[in-house]
Amino acid sequence: MMAQVMINPQDTYTHAAPNNDYMLEVNELKKTYAKKQALENVTFSLKPGTSFGFLGPNGAGKSTTMKILTGIVKADSGSAKLFGKDVTREPDAVSKFIGYVPQDITLYEKLSAYDNLEFFGEAYGVSGKELKQRIHDVLTRTGLLERSKDIVSTFSGGMKRRINIAAALLHRPKLLILDEPTVGIDPQSRNHIFELIRELNREGVTIIYSTHYMEEVEALCDEVAIMDQGSIKAMGPLGDLLEQYGQNSIYLEVPGLTELPQDPDVTSFRKEGSGWLLETERSAAVMQRLLRQASQHAWDVKQLEVVRPSLESVFLKVTGTALRD
Amino acid sequence: MKAMIIKELRLIGKDRRSFIFLLLMPIIFIVMFGSVFNQTDGSSITLRTIDQDQSAASKALIGQMQSIMDVKQLPADNLNEQLDKIKQGQFSSMLVIPSGFENSMKEGQAANIKLYQDPASQTETAPIQAILGSISSQYREQKLTTMLMANGESKAQAEAALASPIHIENVSASADHFNMIDQVVPGMTVMFVFFIMITMARRFFEEKKTGLLSRIRTTRIKPLHYLIGMWFPFVLTVIAQCMILFAFGHLVYGLRLGDIAALSAVVLCLSIAGTGIGLGLSFLVPGEGAAMVITQIISMGGAMLGGLWVPSYLLPQTVQTVGHFLPQFWAQHSLQDIIAHGAHLSDIWGSALILLTFGLAGLTIALIRLPGFLRSAAN
């Protein structure tokens, strides 16, 4: 039998020295909650206009990192600077550049969508006619203009999520931080939110998007950081990560096959659905040998195909666990 | 801060539970207590009487009693049945004028009348005994006057000889008349003002629990502005609550409001005291449940000890002393001074200052606890 290839979880990935091109520079953030290490030397930098995905399971440290960036939580050590301003020491100078969409729906359910937006707009320092214009604008963008006077508690989960995002856009932030903004919503609202994020990114807004859904990162982000157990395990452009860590896989489905034959080119394998997923850098050779085995043992092959590298396989490789474990 | 205040006022306006606690309940209590005490004000003491003598003298005695109290005459033949009713607690006392009452008087002997009473209702029968004692004294004076005149004294000389060396003159201490509505309306208002603490604690814990507080911290609202923005709408709410309840007392029960400037000052200080304590409580207790329990203790306990239910002077001395340490006492004391005793700003500033001190103590606690509260919300 073959063994799975494991990456040492202590190998943390750090990225880039400070550079004037970066709008956000995060250096060696550490945070401990009641003796539990929530963040360990988190370091990354972002250029303006990036759409950056934080991928990791619950408890990986994504939300803590975002809370430090928005000034909600103070890091035990390390620094985070936005446009050269320290987020802890100069929160007023930084807050006007950041729009934060928390993981929970943080709206006043008894107030109308309009009243909520008016409150958050004024809280961000926008007022008067300009605020009214911007409320109209974000309601149009989120497709909720018709429902602006309705009480939020009457909205569906997806509509609430959209207003939750709209409330963070009223002061026209340069950096939009979204912490799992699509949890528990219908596909239509999810698509609406995706389209809104892409549109904002096209307009130059830098995005930090946290999720534990790989397909969301693949759909929205051009750079990804894989987080686990409080540290960044891998980071870089999506294509680079796939190239560096991803391997072609072969999917084989043979009813009744309980054990795979040894193959020196298969680096790891696991059960996947009704079949097996074999990772290899020499997919053609492995495929040939599998076909030979099938012929010799008269396997009833239902499926045999090459699977392109996925973020899931990257995640598995750098953390040693599947994301949804 | 303006955004916080407007938002909070909108939320309070939509909170039905607060409306019930802050307005509906006190109005129900005022109506309930007002009805009970208004009936008491208009009624006199009732004495059931059986006249077994049926003479001119017995009828004269009954007539004299009727001028002072409500006398209900019962049939002379069912004494035992009426005595059973006293034993059963159906009424507390009964006067029986026995046969031979008039003859005893004519013969100059002591004419006995019997006052049957329920020993468990001594407080109730005490005024009746006092009235009967007074009537008995009048009879004695009459008898002595007759005897002195028989000895050759003139009527004026006889009356002068019997006149008491002490004359008690009743002088009202204030221009206004005090009735129970003057106790009930301010009492219920002050009691229910402190229920704002439940609403305040609930709001703060909601903000924390839902993540709204954390989100607000990412905006440009500073922690101190957040605190004031959350607190000030509750001050306005209590002022509105007091205005509505006093207006209700004035319009429905004819409550005299006294010096409006003084009344407004006390209401302002009371609202600062109630909401200040509410603020401190919200930042001290671990959860909404604890806040509910403590609020009930402060509101109900303070109402009882602070003389909101019954006038403070009717309470035991120890309770009266304890009451002086409670904001409810000073609020009620100053409000009654304004309403019943015609007090002005210069008369109530001391009480107002004490109320402000309670409020500022609560605010200080909140300010000290605020950073910890914000940290706990973030985590």
Q: At what angle do helices A128-141 and A113-123 cross, to 10 degrees?
A: 130
Among A35, A64, A66, A122, most B C-beta atoms within 10 A, so best to mutate, is: A122
pLDDT band at A56 (very low <50, low <70, confident <90, very high): confident
Q: Does A97 touch chain B (CB under 8 A)?
A: no
pLDDT digits (tens, 9 = 90+) for A114-163: 999 999 999 998 989 999 999 999 999 888 898 999 999 999 888 899 99
The Cα–Cα gap between B308 and B322 comes to 14
Q: Order of strands across the sheet with A206-211?
A: A98-101, A175-179, A206-211, A51-55, A223-228, A231-237
Q: Do A123 and B216 lie within an 8 Å CB cutoff?
A: yes
What are the φ and ψ backbone dihedral angles of A174, each rounded to 5 degrees?
-85, -30
**pLDDT confidence of residue A198:** 92
The Cα–Cα gap between B195 and B128 comes to 42
H helix or E strand, kind and range, residue A318: helix A311-319
Q: Are B258 and B175 in contact (CB under 8 A)?
A: no
Residue with tokens 């997923």: A277
Binding-face residues of A in 9-28 toward B, CB within 8 A: none
The Cα–Cα gap between A146 and A170 comes to 18
Q: Which amino acid is at B307?
A: G
**pLDDT confidence of residue B42:** 47
The Cα–Cα gap between B21 and A188 comes to 43
**pLDDT confidence of residue B136:** 82
pLDDT digits (tens, 9 = 90+) for A4-37: 333 333 343 344 444 558 888 988 889 888 888 8
Task: State the average pLDDT for chain A.
Answer: 84
For residue A123, give the nearest of B10, B219, B379 by CB distance.
Answer: B219
The Cα–Cα gap between B315 and B333 comes to 14
pLDDT band at A278 (very low <50, low <70, confident <90, very high): confident
Shortest distance between the Cα of A83 and any Cα of chain B, in A, equals 17
* Residue ranges of chain B whose pLDDT lies below 50: 40-42, 175
What average pLDDT does this structure show over A34-62? 86
- How far is the CA of B12 from the CAs of B230, B237, B313, in angstroms? 11, 8, 37
**pLDDT confidence of residue B17:** 81
**pLDDT confidence of residue B169:** 60
The Cα–Cα gap between A323 and B9 comes to 45
The Cα–Cα gap between A209 and A50 comes to 11
**pLDDT confidence of residue A314:** 76
- Contact list in A for residue B216 (CB cut-off 8 A) is 123
Burial class (CB in 10 A: 0-12, 13-18, 19+), A292: exposed
The Cα–Cα gap between A182 and B40 comes to 66
**pLDDT confidence of residue A4:** 33
pLDDT digits (tens, 9 = 90+) for A178-212: 998 888 888 888 888 899 999 999 998 999 999 88
**pLDDT confidence of residue B229:** 93
* pTM, full prediction: 0.72
Beta bridge partners, B194, equal none
In the three-class reduction of DSSP (H, G, I as helix; E, B as strand; rest coil), residue B11 is classed as helix
CA atoms within a 13 Å half-sphere pointing along the CA-CB vector of A231: 16
Q: Does B164 touch chain A (CB under 8 A)?
A: no
pLDDT digits (tens, 9 = 90+) for B149-162: 888 777 787 777 76
Output the six-digit token pair for A112.
């109308």
